[in-house]
Amino acid sequence: MADSAFKLVSSNRMFGGLMALYSHYSSVLKCTMEFRVFHPPTSTESPAPASTPVLYYLSGLTCTSENFATKGYAQAAAAKAGLALICPDTSPRGVDLPGEDESYDFGSGAGFYLNATRDPWSQHYRMYDYVVDELPGVLKANFPELAVGSKEAIFGHSMGGHGALVLALSNPGRYASASAFAPICNPINCPWGVKAFTGYLGDDDKTAWEAYDASVLARSYAGPKIDVLVDQGTDDQFLKEHQLLPETLAAAAAANDQLDVELRMQDGYDHSYYFIATFVEDHIAFHAKYLL
């Protein structure tokens, strides 16, 4: 039996706050999971119950909880704003399912923030429930200073941008704001999404896929009103390969008064963390407007 205890794995002082790695056993994913938290100075030096707003960051394909923590350069802005950054992993780990490590865009590192319904993936790959329900419960139980359930926002990159948008649009009122860097906006119509959804959800009833498509959800979103910021690089190789389809999301949002999506096309930027680091302060400031 895996060790079910919540534990601190490591921590480093940073911008007056604390960048920490934790592990716990997930009953939803049936494996030990790691996640990172940047605790800003307001929560590490003079904590008050449920006072520190929470900003979740969901990473993209092949990433773990480490990538954004070490390459996103978000901690300085988060420290200044007094926001806690929560960085979960992108999939279950070490569950030994056949084929889970055979490709970068399915299985390990590619959970797509959905609840799989097709065996054997349905036994472990339930990242939607993990991020929406289980992880917030772990945070609330161990960090009383975090405003889990009352002051939360969400953002992400690529597959994680897809996850951030889907979670925000399918849980109205849960998140104060949402944003994304180069998100997969219309996965039911792009190669990455078709592969993942076929494997995790099956293709007998493709209408079930629509629950995890931000462009579909944007058309039917009924409020409360939420503001969304999306940054997309014009030199992104995956934009050119029609994996991201931001124009589909923008068109869907334009027809919905309850949804305000600002799509910024950033000239010359690609899909990398150099792109994310360039605009991450804008995203922190965007969420701070709604959380503080």
| R_g of the chain, CA atoms, integer Å | 18
| Domain coverage including residue 177 | 7-291
pLDDT digits 0-9 by tens, 8-33: 999 999 999 999 999 999 999 999 99
Query: What is the CATH classification number for the domain harbouring 98?
Result: 3.40.50.1820
Active site residue 43: no
Question: What is the rounded distance in angstroms from the CA atom of residue 19 to the CA atom of residue 73?
Answer: 12
- Rounded to an integer, the average pLDDT of 139-148 is 97
The reported pTM is 0.96
| DSSP code of residue 66 | H
CA-closest candidate to residue 131, choices 116, 149, 113, 105: 113
List 59, 158, 177, 215, catalytic entry: 158
pLDDT digits 0-9 by tens, 197-240: 999 999 999 999 999 999 999 999 998 999 999 999 999 999 99
Minimum mean pLDDT among 24-28, 48-52, 125-129: which range?
48-52
Active site residue 271: yes
Active site residue 236: yes
CA-closest candidate to residue 231, choices 158, 168, 288: 158
Domain count, the chain: 1
Residue 1 included in any domain: no
